[in-house]
């Protein structure tokens, strides 16, 4: 087993022209290759209900309770014990995690034999021509169909999509004869789930947890100069999650070829110390692996470059480090450490008050002056203080966390990762004033962290929703005993150079909140893994139940509260409930832990359906959802007056109030940014959530403007709700609310003033609750500090008469990945969007692009996402168009709808 030795600081150079360095670019091609192997996989999934092969990772307990609509805050229960059968593959898979097990005596040895070796799907000569050809990232379930009705196999909790089952991916890869002697790895950024890899009929290894990135070493199995056969089996259990997990090889997959002496997987670790604007000390740890059978004498050079706004690295290195003549014994790994000072560093900080400046460290290994490996590490230089009384200080500036939680699916694209789709989400969140994301409740795609680094979002990177105790019958608790250490260390090691990450969360509302000291011991063990991998960042966990005097919170470096800050189920309707009922907890926690920073890892869980308004309107500022009170279980929709939350949650207004009363709290992560697939509380007949501030299609709900008003007080804005098309409400009370960054406003209905109102202290909206409906025009004039600040009007529209069309970007890359998000609106003859129009629209496309998906953001819509026909939902519909690789030209999207004037739009693919 590998021993790490720490080699102390040898020399510190600030130069870029040593003779060792100059050879770096000359022989670059001789070093590492990281090749995308996303295209051209052959895919097969066993029919649902059909018998699959027996090549399972481990036996799973039978599901006795298939109720998937349990409230999120139900108490997790003890795991059901199952005995592994003899013929499971677990013991061949466990060694894949060895690099992440610290104690060498606990690492696994490879079992003898080659299970599955005689199975047809792993053979090179198996004829898979009849299998579907797919490109990765691929989510087999997203195309549907949705499983409707009251007794589906996959229920509302997991999105009513066919995620469950066993599937195979096969691909032939050419390994050239010149690759003989190289190390060859398969890097998988995420496979859902229980992935097992065979190469040329030999079982290589695998990784059960679907959200982590992992690597298998193909070197002993590949045949250089030949076509090699990869076969990957994934097994996605039903009841594995409280949300839609996606299915298959849903992230990028890479082939990595290196010299046998190379920088290890996630082999660099950069930390910064003594950070000021005039200088910063950069500490670099580099792990070098020697997989050859003789010892290696190498020079290790790392050059540091700044990265400009376009992502280009500076021509001159800003600093360099050289470690000369380092000896790495055959079969060993060494950890080398040294540091350097960068003068006048450009600091990384969150937008908008700071700039997310980045650097890249290019590490070159040389043997006899010949480059044998190059490895790049993106990093940032920043100084973060986690202050128990002031909250978060980034580079000395107090930054209030205005965050949201985000699940990993990308709406109609499912879990198949797409960088542009993720970037669009971040852009919309940024427009709202959001500066932080908690990746709930699992590690994101690496490219998403590249985006948060570049765009300057603060991030909580989180790994688990459950430990030993279970929330759903087949969730992570099944593998926790065997994989907790490997998963935690792999997660931290992959992401620890990302400047956007401000802390690690290792659990969300885990059942161990309820198990006293025993639970706290597990927490302490997990925390120690994290601290060993990254001592520089604090850890947290999201607690919806644990109280200050319980053992678990004491283990966490930062107190993460879910809903407890505002108090849970404090409304009198909950008196006598057997569910969690908690008085507000910010003060008790602050008192008990005066040295720990507190933040709300989850707030709100407020719910609404875009464009749906239900009457009567609650006079409260925050209320639960019931029929006739914010909800309608017949149509499965929640009102957009934005006053209602799930039973344990609170409206945005109530959360703002609690936070404004507790300035020591570092801020909040709202549950949640975008609607996600699955968990459609309170209506499990639906397919997707109601708690997003933005709907599944990316259309803004009213809540967007409530947050924008509060989070961007400097932005002049005013937003009126509801819409003003209420022919059935003539003369009836139809409250009008205004979300604005101003402090005072006057509302007019058809020119008549309905009064001027001032926002009270701890009030976050202006409400005119006794307006009687008459058609026409609502207009609000908003003031701030006595001066006119903004105005806004809403008009009653005529009936639908035309389609209008617009895109987020009219020029996209012809790379087969880039997307154009096209919004089609139903408008009246004057071009006003008809806010109640649900007309069916048909889409068609010409040119080098394809319609990937359509959506309208309605949580109850069961038309499959790839359908080219969709009803608008309250005036809007979305079409996602993808370019074709290498095919440049104009793409025209046409939209037509019976009785309406059609619309079309052209985008260019370059």
| CB 656, CB 635: distance < 8 Å | no
What gap in Å lies between CA 527 and CA 539, rounded to an integer?
A: 7
Active-site residue, selected from the candidate residues 462, 485, 512, 602? 602
Quote the least distance from Cβ 510 to ligand GAL, whole Å: 10
Q: What are the beta bridge partners of residue 286?
A: 268, 336
State how far the Cα of 878 lies from the Cα of 703, in Å rounded to an integer. Answer: 20
DSSP category for residue 733: B
Among 679, 743, 818, 858, binds ligand GAL (CB under 6 A): 679
Enter the DSSP assignment of 797: -
Task: Give min distance, CB of 648 to ligand GAL, in A.
Answer: 7
> Which string of x and - marks every residue 188-227 that binds ligand GAL (by CB under 6 A)?
----------------------------------------
- Asked whether position 691 contacts ligand GAL by CB under 6 A, the answer is yes
Count of residues that interact with ligand GAL, criterion CB under 6 A:
15
Phi, psi of 713, rounded to the nearest 5 degrees: -60, -20
Our CA angle for 821, 692, 598, nearest 5°, is 125
Q: How far is the CB of 236 from ligand GAL (least distance, A)?
A: 20
Which residues neighbour 184 within 8 Å (Cβ) at sequence distance 6 or greater?
175, 217, 218, 219, 222, 255, 256, 257
Residue 376 neighbours by CB distance under 10 Å: 14
CB of 865 to ligand GAL, least distance (A): 23
Q: Which one of residues 219, 605, 650, 801 is an interface residue with ligand GAL (CB under 6 A)?
A: 605
In the complex, minimum distance from the CB of residue 73 to ligand GAL, in angstroms, rounded to a whole number: 5
Which helix (H) or strand (E) covers residue 588, if one does?
Answer: helix 586-592
Pick between residue 289 and residue 679 the one whose CB is nearest to ligand GAL: 679
Helix, strand and coil percent figures for the chain, each rounded to 5: 15, 35, 50
Quote the least distance from Cβ 646 to ligand GAL, whole Å: 5
Determine whether 746 is an active site residue. no
Among 562, 564, 609, 621, binds ligand GAL (CB under 6 A): 562
Residue 146 half-sphere exposure, CB side, CA atoms within 13 Å?
23
Return the number of the residue (256 or 542) whose C-beta is nearest ligand GAL. 542
Q: How many CA atoms lie within 13 A of 186 on its CB side?
A: 30
Binding flags for ligand GAL, 128-167, as an x/- string (CB under 6 A): ----------------------------------------
603 counts as binding ligand GAL under rule CB under 6 A = no
CA distance 121 to 113: 18
- Return the residue of 646, 738, 822, 903 that touches ligand GAL, per CB under 6 A: 646
Q: Which of 571, 543, 570, 569 is nearest to 555 (CA)?
A: 543
Residues 237-266 that bind ligand GAL (CB under 6 A): 242
Catalytic residue among 509, 512, 566, 702: 509
671 binds ligand GAL (CB under 6 A): yes
Assigned token pair, 180: 């003989």
* Residue 653 C-beta: closest distance to ligand GAL, Å: 17
Nearer to ligand GAL, 500 or 681 (CB): 681
DSSP-based three-state secondary structure for 360: strand
Query: Which of 608, 681, 734, 741 touches ligand GAL by CB under 6 A?
Result: 681
**Span 480-539, contacts to ligand GAL by CB under 6 A:** 508-509
Whether omega before 682 lies within 30 degrees of 0, making that bond cis, reads yes
**d(C-alpha 204, C-alpha 216), whole Å:** 7
Shorter beta-carbon distance to ligand GAL: residue 264 or 440 = 440
566 carries an active-site annotation? no
Say if CB 800 and CB 826 are below 8 A apart. yes
Report the residue number, 164 or 681, with the smaller CB distance to ligand GAL.
681
Q: What's the closest the beta carbon of residue 605 comes to ligand GAL, in angstroms?
A: 4
With CB atoms as reference, the residue minimizing the distance to ligand GAL is 72
The number of residues making up the chain comes to 910
The 10 Å Cβ neighbour count of residue 290 is 22
Where does 699-767 have alpha helices with state H?
702-711
d(CA 842, CA 895): 6
Pick 539 or 691: Cβ nearer ligand GAL:
691
- Residue 73 binds ligand GAL, judged by CB under 6 A: yes
Give me the active site residues, please. Answer: 509, 602
Contact residues for ligand GAL (CB under 6 A)?
72-73, 242, 440, 508-509, 544, 562, 602, 605, 646, 671, 679, 681, 691
């Amino acid at each position: 087993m590998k021993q790490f030795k720490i080699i102390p600081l040898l020399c510190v150079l600030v130069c870029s022209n040593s003779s060792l360095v100059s050879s770096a670019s000359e022989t670059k091609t001789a070093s590492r290759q990281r090749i995308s192997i996303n295209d051209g996989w052959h895919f097969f999934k066993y029919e649902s209900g059909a018998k699959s092969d027996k090549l399972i990772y481990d036996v799973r307990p039978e599901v006795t309770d298939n109720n998937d609509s349990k409230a999120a805050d139900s108490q997790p229960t003890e795991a059901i014990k199952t005995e592994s059968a003899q013929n499971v593959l677990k013991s061949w898979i466990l060694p894949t995690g060895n690099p992440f097990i610290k104690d060498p005596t606990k690492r696994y040895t490879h079992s003898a034999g080659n299970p599955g070796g005689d199975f047809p799907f792993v053979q090179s000569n198996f004829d898979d021509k009849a299998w579907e050809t797919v490109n990765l990232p691929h989510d087999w379930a997203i195309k549907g169909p949705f499983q409707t009705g009251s007794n589906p196999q996959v229920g509302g909790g997991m999105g009513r999509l066919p995620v469950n089952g066993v599937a195979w991916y096969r691909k032939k890869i050419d390994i050239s004869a010149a690759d003989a002697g190289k190390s060859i790895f398969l890097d998988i950024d995420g496979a859902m789930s229980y992935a097992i890899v065979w190469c040329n009929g030999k079982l290589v290894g695998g990784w059960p947890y679907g959200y982590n990135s992992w690597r298998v070493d193909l070197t002993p199995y590949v045949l250089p100069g030949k076509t090699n056969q990869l076969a990957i089996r994934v097994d996605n259990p039903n009841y594995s999650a409280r949300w839609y997990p996606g299915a298959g090889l849903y992230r990028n997959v890479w082939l990595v070829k290196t010299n046998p002496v190379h920088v290890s997987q996630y082999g660099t670790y950069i930390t910064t110390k003594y950070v000021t604007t005039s200088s910063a000390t950069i500490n670099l740890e580099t792990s070098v692996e020697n997989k050859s059978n003789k010892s290696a004498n190498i020079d290790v050079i790392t050059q540091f470059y700044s990265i400009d706004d376009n992502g280009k690295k500076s021509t001159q290195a800003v600093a360099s480090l050289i470690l000369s003549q380092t000896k790495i014994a055959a079969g060993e790994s060494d950890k080398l450490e040294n540091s350097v000072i960068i003068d006048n560093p450009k600091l990384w900080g969150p937008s908008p008050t700071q700039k997310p400046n980045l650097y890249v460290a290019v590490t070159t290994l040389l043997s006899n002056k010949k480059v044998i490996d190059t490895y790049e590490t993106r990093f940032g230089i920043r100084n973060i203080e986690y202050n128990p009384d002031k909250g978060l200080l980034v580079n000395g500036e107090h930054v209030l966390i205005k965050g949201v939680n985000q699940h990993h699916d990308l709406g109609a694209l499912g879990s198949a990762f797409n960088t542009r789709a993720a970037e669009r989400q971040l852009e919309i969140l940024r427009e709202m004033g959001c500066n932080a994301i908690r990746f709930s409740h699992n590690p994101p795609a690496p490219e998403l962290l590249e985006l948060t680094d570049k765009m300057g979002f603060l991030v909580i990177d989180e790994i688990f929703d459950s430990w030993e105790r279970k929330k759903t019958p087949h969730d992570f608790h099944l593998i926790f005993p065997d994989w907790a250490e490997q998963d935690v260390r792999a997660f931290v090691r992959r992401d620890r150079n990302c400047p956007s990450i401000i802390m690690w969360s290792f659990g969300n509302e885990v059942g161990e909140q309820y198990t006293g000291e025993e639970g706290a011991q597990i927490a302490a063990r997990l925390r120690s893994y994290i601290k060993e991998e990254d001592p520089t960042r604090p850890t947290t966990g999201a607690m919806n139940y644990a109280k200050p005097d319980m053992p678990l919170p004491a283990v966490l470096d930062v107190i993460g509260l879910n809903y407890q800050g505002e108090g849970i189920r404090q409304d009198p309707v909950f008196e006598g409930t057997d569910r969690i009922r908690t008085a507000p907890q910010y003060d008790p926690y602050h008192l008990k832990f005066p040295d720990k920073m507190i933040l709300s890892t989850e707030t709100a869980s407020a719910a609404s359906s875009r464009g749906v308004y239900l009457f009567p309107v609650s006079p409260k500022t925050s209320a639960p959802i019931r029929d006739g009170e914010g909800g309608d279980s017949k149509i499965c929709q929640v009102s957009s007056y934005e006053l209602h939350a799930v039973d344990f949650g609170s409206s945005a207004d109530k959360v703002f109030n609690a936070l404004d009363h507790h300035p020591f709290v570092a801020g909040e992560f709202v549950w949640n940014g975008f609607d996600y697939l699955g968990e459609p509380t309170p209506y499990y007949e639906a397919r997707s959530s109601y708690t997003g501030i933005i709907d599944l299609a990316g259309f803004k709900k009213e809540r967007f403007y409530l947050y924008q008003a509060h989070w961007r007080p400097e932005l002049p804005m005013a937003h009126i709700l509801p819409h003003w098309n209420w022919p059935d409400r003539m003369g009836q009370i139809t409250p009008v609310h205004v979300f604005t960054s101003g402090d005072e406003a006057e509302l007019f209905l058809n020119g008549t003033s309905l009064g001027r109102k001032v926002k009270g202290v701890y009030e976050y909206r202006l409400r005119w609750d006794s307006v009687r409906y008459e058609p026409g025009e609502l207009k609000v004039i908003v003031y701030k500090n006595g001066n006119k600040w903004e105005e806004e009007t809403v008009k009653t529209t005529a009936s639908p008469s035309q389609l209008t069309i617009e895109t987020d970007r009219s020029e996209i890359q012809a790379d087969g990945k880039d997307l154009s998000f096209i919004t089609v609106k139903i408008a009246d003859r004057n071009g006003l969007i008809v806010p109640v129009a649900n007309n069916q629209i048909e889409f068609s496309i010409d040119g080098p692009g394809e319609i990937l998906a359509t959506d309208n953001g309605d949580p109850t819509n069961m038309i499959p996402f790839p359908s080219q026909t969709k009803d608008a939902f309250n005036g809007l519909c979305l079409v996602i168009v993808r370019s074709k690789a290498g095919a440049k030209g104009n793409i025209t999207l046409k939209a037509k709808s019976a009785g309406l004037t059609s619309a079309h739009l052209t985008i260019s693919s370059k």
